Amino acid sequence: MVGVLTTTTREVVLCSEVMPSSPTLVSSNRSFGGEQQVFRHDSSVLGCSMNFGVYLPPQAASGPCPVVYWLSGLTCTEQNFITKAGAQAHAARLGLILVAPDTSPRGEGVPDDDAFDLGCGAGFYLNATQEPWARQYRMYDYVVSELPGLIEAHFPAAERRSILGHSMGGHGALVIALRNPGRYRAVSAVAPITAPSQVPWGQKAFRAYLGEDQGAWAEFDASQLVRVAKERLPLLVDVGDKDQFLERELKPEIFRRACEEVGHPLTLRMQPGYDHSYYTIATFIGDHLEHHAAALSK
């Protein structure tokens, strides 16, 4: 596979500038006719070793397949999605490669915090500018640039990609897609943090990683980015009406209003009785992968 990505936007020019190290296989398990694997590599962007999960569907044995990137939420590693979401059966049926990275840099010497919502496990898919985070907390560059370069260089991956995520990862998926027009065929989210500048989780992370500059915050806030988006990718968002973080942290109504004001297509589904857990993700992951497969097949 060739790891050269072409684009006209500065957001992803980094892909051709980063030379990812070859990944080392950590584990491999047969799943629905394909292989659920975990790899480790040395990240030059994050300055540490990183794990990521890759599901290769049966169709990958015959040629390149489109890639769906999954971004997990607070406290997660690459393991949560690959063991709890039940996504492999859908990916095998649809011929999709699934890639699930970790949520932050980790390891000896990586800055951390005692709280669950800052530091390791809480990278927020941004590029930090404040100390002690600035050197290694660059998950935006990792997801947009280094990881796809590695996937497309070492796996049977087509240059057709999409992105989705949950909670903090839903925030990351929306932000990354909105900032990189033409790069992703589809985007969706389950229980995303849609207005991080206006909720406690986002405000705490942005203040620590980005400082007090509200302009810097806006660059990683989906409810603000959608107002200036240069591409109208249809957005699919599922949120449970029993989600324990709905009113305090998710605030999907802010995102809905922002989309309505600029005419950005949004399907926001409030799912009765569902919460913030992986039971919700597992229930609706098939719908989301169908949404992605339809766009990736065009």
User: Could you confirm whether 197 is annotated as catalytic?
Assistant: no
- The one catalytic residue among 43, 167, 188, 223: 167
Of the candidates 3, 4, 294, 11, which has an alpha carbon nearest to the alpha carbon of residue 176?
11
- The one catalytic residue among 90, 166, 264, 276: 276
Q: How far is CA 181 from CA 174, 269, 293, in A?
A: 12, 24, 18
Tokens 């990137």 identify what position?
A: 69
Cα gap 43→50, rounded to integer Å:
6
User: Hey, what are 25's tokens?
Assistant: 């296989």
- The one catalytic residue among 72, 104, 243, 264: 243
Q: Is 66 helix (H, G, I), strand (E, B) or coil?
A: strand
Cα gap 20→209, rounded to integer Å:
25
User: Could you confirm whether 276 is annotated as catalytic?
Assistant: yes
Q: How far is CA 61 from CA 58, 65, 181, in A?
A: 6, 9, 30
Label residues 134-152 b or e (16+ Cβ within 10 Å = b).
Answer: eebbbbbbbbbbbbbbbbb
Pairing label, strands 48-56, 97-101:
antiparallel
Would you name the residues annotated as active-site residues? 167, 243, 276
